[in-house]
């Protein structure tokens, strides 16, 4: 690593949105900064910190060496609150954390270097107040793709052009394309816009909370995105996030260099089943369908039954993650006799070490909700996807995977109608198309190309690698400037 920069006095405070899909990328990013000599303070809420500690077993987040410290603050909600399951109340509570964060970080601690910057998740407007109080730059880290980030940061533009709120009839139109956004990104469709901006949600608190967050995001001093230039429109795409001329750089996939170099930087809120990898070892190459919908998405009991019967009918081995709250907050009841009938080719678990699962040679495809982390992890490992988005950015990620990168399939109509029931026949035929047809073969070639491009981007001399070094250098320069 000849380009490595050692800048011991830099101190980045890294603040993820307290949810699984945000802690993972910010934690991986923090690891990459720590590798470059930056002192890290990683701040989460007590609720999530306790869950990470419980699930980690021997691999505790606090044991990370002398230039890494973990701090946590209460989120102001009672222990029994659903957090991401009651998203509007959760976001609202988090918006008020500015003063608590300021008190936490201004408490004098002579054993750590002075704070250089706040690296904050894109949905944490409270960190703008923190950065202002501390007099340091606020770096906004987008845990979504660049296209979504540009849409979200330009909410006001989309409102003024009449695209938000997204109307019911526009959702059904396949022809309407939105081309008014900056940055070199593909034209988007109404169904690609974040689901919280759909017309029926107008009275929701979420609509207004996201609008507020988008306005604060535009005031970033520096922008980083967990994507890579070769995937999304080169440098020009990220420049669509450069409001007030601030730098905007793609530095992902941030989990990939840690994975490639054997550093375990994935922390989970659930304990991973350790038998998955051994079970995968017993399966034929490229034969297994991995089914997982991330940490938040839920489905109705009826829909889960159709899915189970489709998995049974397709004939392929499958590894299915069934979280204990997957059936709209409850555990799923499997169809009668299902376990017995599929026991020779199925493994059902409550959580996996996903990156390791996706990298396994037995994996043949991924039935996913297309959360951005899952999408990027599948791209990093060259795994094909069938997208079944649930909310938020997942409709866009699914469409990019299918139409732009051509590495996946989807279930038609789910993007416009969240209550659409996908039948067992449709599940079966889609899996067969992906796993066993010439369509899948073509998509697999594209997936392998992107896998190589992702690897190249994060290795020494690659675009993301170089961009991350540029970020560290820029922070160092800002630091020197502050000292003078």
Give the nearest distance from C-beta 272 to ligand UDX in angstroms. Answer: 6
Give the nearest distance from C-beta 375 to ligand UDX in angstroms. Answer: 7
Q: What single DSSP character describes residue 407?
A: -
Give the nearest distance from C-beta 358 to ligand UDX in angstroms. Answer: 8
Give the nearest distance from C-beta 425 to ligand UDX in angstroms. Answer: 27
Placement of tokens 């689901």 in the chain:
195
Nearer Cβ to ligand UDX (189/392): 392
Nearer Cβ to ligand UDX (24/154): 24
Nearer Cβ to ligand UDX (132/263): 263
Nearer Cβ to ligand UDX (138/392): 392
| CA separation for the pair 463, 455 (Å, rounded) | 10
Q: What single DSSP character describes residue 83?
A: G
Report the interface residues with ligand UDX, using CB under 6 A.
19-22, 24, 143-144, 266, 268, 292, 294-297, 321, 351-352, 354-355, 371-374, 377, 392-394
Nearer Cβ to ligand UDX (352/479): 352
- CA 68 to the chain's CA centroid: 23
Nearer Cβ to ligand UDX (217/295): 295
Within 10 Å of residue 332's Cβ, how many Cβ atoms? 23
DSSP H helical segments within 269-343, as ranges?
276-281, 301-314, 338-342
Sheet of 39-45, strands arranged across: 68-73, 39-45, 11-15, 117-121, 138-142, 222-225, 248-250
Give the nearest distance from C-beta 391 to ligand UDX in angstroms. Answer: 7
CA–CA distances in Å: residue 174 to residues 178, 190, 412: 12, 9, 11
- CA 412 to the chain's CA centroid: 23
CA–CA distances in Å: residue 314 to residues 310, 393, 443, 471: 6, 29, 19, 47
Nearer Cβ to ligand UDX (17/39): 17
| CA separation for the pair 248, 240 (Å, rounded) | 8
Q: What single DSSP character describes residue 183?
A: S
| CA separation for the pair 413, 359 (Å, rounded) | 30
CA-nearest of 14, 50, 3 to 267 is 50
Nearer Cβ to ligand UDX (24/283): 24
Give the nearest distance from C-beta 294 to ligand UDX in angstroms. Answer: 3
Nearer Cβ to ligand UDX (351/411): 351
Upper half-sphere CA count for residue 116 (Cβ side, 13 Å): 24
Give the nearest distance from C-beta 318 to ligand UDX in angstroms. Answer: 14
Structure tokens at 210: 């996201």
Instruction: Decide if 174 contacts 48 (C-beta within 8 A).
Output: no
Give the nearest distance from C-beta 347 to ligand UDX in angstroms. Answer: 12
Give the nearest distance from C-beta 276 to ligand UDX in angstroms. Answer: 9
Terminal Cα-to-Cα distance of the chain (whole angstroms): 31
Give the nearest distance from C-beta 16 to ligand UDX in angstroms. Answer: 10
CA-nearest of 386, 369, 400 to 431 is 386
Give the nearest distance from C-beta 478 to ligand UDX in angstroms. Answer: 29
Nearer Cβ to ligand UDX (72/374): 374
CA-nearest of 56, 89, 90, 87 to 70 is 56
Give the nearest distance from C-beta 150 to ligand UDX in angstroms. Answer: 15
Angle between the 20-35 and 463-483 helix axes, to the nearest 10 degrees?
A: 70
Nearer Cβ to ligand UDX (123/411): 123
Farthest-apart Cα atoms in the chain, separation:
72
Measure the CA dihedral 108/111/115/119, to 10°: -110
Nearer Cβ to ligand UDX (19/225): 19
Nearer Cβ to ligand UDX (115/241): 241
Give the nearest distance from C-beta 296 to ligand UDX in angstroms. Answer: 4
Measure the CA dihedral 17/383/248/70, to 10°: 30
């Amino acid at each position: 690593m000849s380009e490595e920069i050692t800048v011991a006095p830099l101190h980045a405070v890294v603040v993820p949105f307290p949810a699984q899909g945000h802690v993972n990328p910010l934690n991986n990013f923090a690891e990459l900064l720590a590798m470059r000599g930056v002192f890290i303070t990683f701040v989460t809420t007590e609720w999530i910190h306790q869950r990470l500690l419980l699930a980690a077993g021997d691999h505790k987040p606090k044991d990370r060496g002398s230039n890494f410290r973990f701090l946590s603050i209460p989120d102001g909600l009672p222990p029994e609150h659903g957090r991401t399951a009651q998203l509007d109340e959760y976001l609202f509570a988090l918006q008020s954390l500015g003063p608590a964060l300021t008190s936490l970080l201004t408490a004098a601690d002579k054993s750590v270097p002075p704070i250089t910057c706040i690296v904050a998740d894109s949905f944490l407007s409270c960190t703008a107040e923190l950065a202002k109080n501390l007099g340091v730059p606020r770096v906004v880290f987008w845990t979504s793709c660049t296209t979504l980030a540009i849409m979200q940061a330009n909410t006001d533009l989309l409102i003024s052009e009449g695209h938000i709120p997204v109307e019911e009839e526009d959702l059904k139109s396949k022809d309407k394309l939105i081309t008014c956004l900056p940055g070199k990104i593909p034209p988007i469709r109404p169904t690609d816009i974040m689901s919280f901006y759909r017309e029926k949600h107008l009275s929701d608190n979420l609509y207004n909370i996201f609008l507020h967050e988008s306005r604060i995001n535009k005031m970033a001093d520096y922008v980083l995105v967990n994507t890579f230039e070769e995937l999304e429109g080169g440098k020009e795409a990220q420049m669509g996030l450069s409001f007030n001329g601030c730098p905007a750089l793609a530095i992902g996939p941030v989990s990939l260099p840690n994975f490639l170099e054997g550093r375990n930087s994935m922390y989970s809120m659930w304990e991973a089943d350790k038998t998955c990898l051994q079970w995968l070892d017993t399966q034929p190459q490229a034969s297994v369908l991995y089914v997982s919908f991330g940490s938040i998405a839920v489905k109705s009991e009826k829909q889960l039954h159709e899915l189970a019967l489709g998995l049974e009918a397709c004939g392929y081995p499958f590894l299915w993650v069934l979280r204990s709250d997957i059936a709209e907050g409850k555990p799923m009841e499997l169809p009668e006799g299902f376990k017995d009938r599929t026991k020779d080719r199925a493994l059902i678990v409550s959580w996996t070490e996903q990156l390791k699962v996706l990298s396994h040679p037995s994996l043949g495809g991924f039935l996913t909700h297309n959360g951005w982390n899952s999408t990027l992890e599948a791209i990093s490992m060259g795994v094909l996807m069938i997208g079944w988005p649930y909310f938020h950015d997942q409709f866009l990620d699914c469409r990019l995977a299918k139409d732009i990168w051509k590495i996946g399939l989807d279930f038609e109509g789910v993007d416009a109608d969240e209550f659409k029931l996908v039948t067992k026949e449709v599940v079966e035929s889609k899996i067969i198309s992906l796993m066993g047809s010439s369509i899948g073969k073509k998509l697999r070639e594209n997936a392998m190309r992107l896998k190589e491009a992702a690897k190249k981007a994060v290795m020494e001399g690659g675009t993301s690698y170089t961009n991350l070094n540029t970020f560290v250098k820029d922070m160092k320069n800002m630091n020197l400037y502050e000292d003078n």
